[in-house]
């Protein structure tokens, strides 16, 4: 999605009835639906069925089939439970008669309790960093083919500024820190803030999971695809302000990689956690 305003339009689904919605697709250059799009649209569909006082605190999704960008996506919401403090929804995304994605979301009324979180690992101020797009263009040891792929996957409504450039050789045990925010400030509801964040954080988690292994072990293109995605929303945040996405790779095995990310605001508060597993294996068709 090219602009923040365009992202609002992309996530604003057409309502068919109280529990059925339809969404259009961002035209990716790789001709498949961007995972962050279907995740954010499914969350938006679930949001439409709960009161604004109930905010999502966790979501768990499974990518079943690659989506076709030329076919609208139908989102069917199921009301599993409305309790005194929590509500639960299940959303299934269809193209035609085939399910391509399923999402479970839990919502909670705002409540106070104990407070604790890990410290932010920030090592730089985002104002002093360069965008990922500029870094890639100026990195000679990244091939043109890889550059094209990395640039194409960027959700353009956001600006991303890595703390280390693409020539740095990450070990599998290292964290990778990227600052990001919307390119243009928008007035957003708390629910829209969550949808925008869900859209953005699908950007780099799998790349982080494979980048060190790709540098060391693979000399051919990889087949990479999201398998599942989980998020926990801990505290309020603002995607108009700089957020730090700190990623690491707890495990790689069985042609799968596991990426884990913590999202901190500028003040160092942990605002969300994301975990994603993906397929990562040499592309035998190349």
Task: For the chain, give the number of residues.
Answer: 286
How many other CB atoms sit within 10 Å of the CB of residue 215? 13
Closest CA to 194 of 122, 75, 80, 105: 105
Please, what is the angle between helix 35-47 and helix 190-200, to 10°? 160
Active site residue 226: yes
Alpha helices of 99-204 — where are they, by DSSP H?
132-137, 144-152, 190-200
How far apart CA 12 and CA 14 sit, in angstroms, is 7
In 10 A of CB 106, how many CB atoms? Answer: 18
Local structure of 156: helix, strand or coil: coil
37, 209, 246, 276: the catalytic one is 276
Note if 276 is an active site residue. Answer: yes
Query: What DSSP character marks residue 60?
Result: E
Catalytic residue among 106, 120, 192, 226: 226
Give the C-alpha distances (Å, rounded to integers) separating 40 from 101, 103, 173.
12, 10, 30
Active-site position among 37, 192, 202, 204:
202
DSSP 71: S
Which residues have CB under 8 Å from 100's CB, separation 6+? Answer: 33, 38, 63, 64, 65, 66, 67, 73, 93, 94
* Alpha-carbon span 40 to 186, nearest angstrom: 17
- Active-site annotation, residues: 202, 226, 276
């Amino acid at each position: 999605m090219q602009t923040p305003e365009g992202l609002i339009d992309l996530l604003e689904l057409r309502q068919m009835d109280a529990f059925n919605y339809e969404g259009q697709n961002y035209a990716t250059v790789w001709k498949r639906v961007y995972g962050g799009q279907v995740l954010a649209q499914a969350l938006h569909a679930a949001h439409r069925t709960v009161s604004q006082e109930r905010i999502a605190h966790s979501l768990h999704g499974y990518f079943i089939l690659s989506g076709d960008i030329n076919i609208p996506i139908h989102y069917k919401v199921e009301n599993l439970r409305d309790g005194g403090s929590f509500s639960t929804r299940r959303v299934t995304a269809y193209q035609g008669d085939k399910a391509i994605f399923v999402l479970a979301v839990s919502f909670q009324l705002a409540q106070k309790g104990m407070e604790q979180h890990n410290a932010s690992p920030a090592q730089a101020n985002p104002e002093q960093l360069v965008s990922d797009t500029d870094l890639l263009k100026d990195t000679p040891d990244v091939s043109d083919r890889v550059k094209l792929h990395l640039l194409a996957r960027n959700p353009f409504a956001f600006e991303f500024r890595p703390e280390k450039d693409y020539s740095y050789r990450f070990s599998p045990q290292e964290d990778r820190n990227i600052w990001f925010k919307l390119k243009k400030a928008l007035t957003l509801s708390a629910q829209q803030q969550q949808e925008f964040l869900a859209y953005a954080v699908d950007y780099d988690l799998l790349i982080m999971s494979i980048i060190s292994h790709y540098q060391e072990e693979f000399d051919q293109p990889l087949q990479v695809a999201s398998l599942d995605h989980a998020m926990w929303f801990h505290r309020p945040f603002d995607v108009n302000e700089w957020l730090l996405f700190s990623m690491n790779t707890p495990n790689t095995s069985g042609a799968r990689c596991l990426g884990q990310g913590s999202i901190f605001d500028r003040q160092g508060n942990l605002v969300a956690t994301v975990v994603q597993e993906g397929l990562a294996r040499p592309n035998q068709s190349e």
